[in-house]
Amino acid sequence: MSLVLDPSAQDLLFREARTANTFTDEPVTDEQVRAIYDLVKYGPTAFNQSPLRITLVRSPEARERLVKHMAEGNQPKTSAAPLVAILSADNEFHEELPQLFPHFPQAKDAFFSERPVREGAAALNASLQAAYFIVGVRAAGLAAGPMTGLDFEGVRKEFLDDDHTPLMVVNIGRPGPDAWFPRSPRLEYDQVVTTV
């Protein structure tokens, strides 16, 4: 009663959405990824910064280069998923702040002139954007398989540069046979929420 989102959308995004471990061969198109990004770009971040970067690993040669940096248990699904994306944080996101936060363009220099501060902000806000992205994948009727079991420095050197910090790799597609384990429990409201 308290939620205004249509119950079928609640199920699609959360109750029935699962983390997929196997996928069908159905391709994931650039149009689908564009639609996902054009929806989730509205998710809020501090100072409206946009540090998330998405690298779509499409060619077989690039897929091979990525798989070798994945933990052994993650390698088969990274090889087989229709689409794999590397999500990273751009630690130089402050350069775009005058465009993204035009009513206070001084924010770039006033708050983000120091690299360690930027790295902290980029990690937090790009991770928020990564979460929005995962929910966006579900909104497209697809399943996501996020993974942090990987050699981060290896992925950074292979695909990124010193200004970018990898956050996770996400398999994307339609769930295949035996795509998931039984649902694991979640903490209940009273275990998580306190009121002061």
Chain residues in the site for ligand FMN (CB under 6 A): 18-19, 74, 146-149, 168, 180, 183-184
Q: Nearest distance from residue 149's CB to ligand FMN, in Å?
A: 3
Give 102 or 141: the residue with its C-beta nearer to ligand FMN: 141
Q: CA-CA distance, 52 to 165, in Å (whole number)?
A: 10
Cα gap 138→146, rounded to integer Å: 12
Query: What distance separates the 2 farthest-apart alpha carbons in the chain?
Result: 54
Distance CA 150, CA 157 (A): 13
Task: Spell out where the chain has E strands.
Answer: 52-57, 83-90, 143-147, 164-173
> Rounded to the nearest whole angstrom, what is the least distance from the CB of residue 154 to ligand FMN in the complex?
14
Q: How far is the CB of 175 from ligand FMN (least distance, A)?
A: 10
CB of 188 to ligand FMN, least distance (A): 16
Nearer to ligand FMN, 181 or 189 (CB): 181
Q: Which two tokens stand for residue 48?
A: 């409206």
Q: Which is nearer to ligand FMN, 112 or 166 (CB)?
A: 166
* Token pair recorded at residue 142: 């697809």
Whether 22 contacts 176, CB under 8 Å: yes
The smaller minimum CB distance to ligand FMN, of residues 16 and 114, is found at 16
Residue 38: count of CB within 10 angstroms of its CB: 10
Comparing CB distances to ligand FMN, the nearer of 107 and 137 is 137
CB nearest ligand FMN: which residue? 149
Name the minimum Å distance from CB 36 to ligand FMN.
16
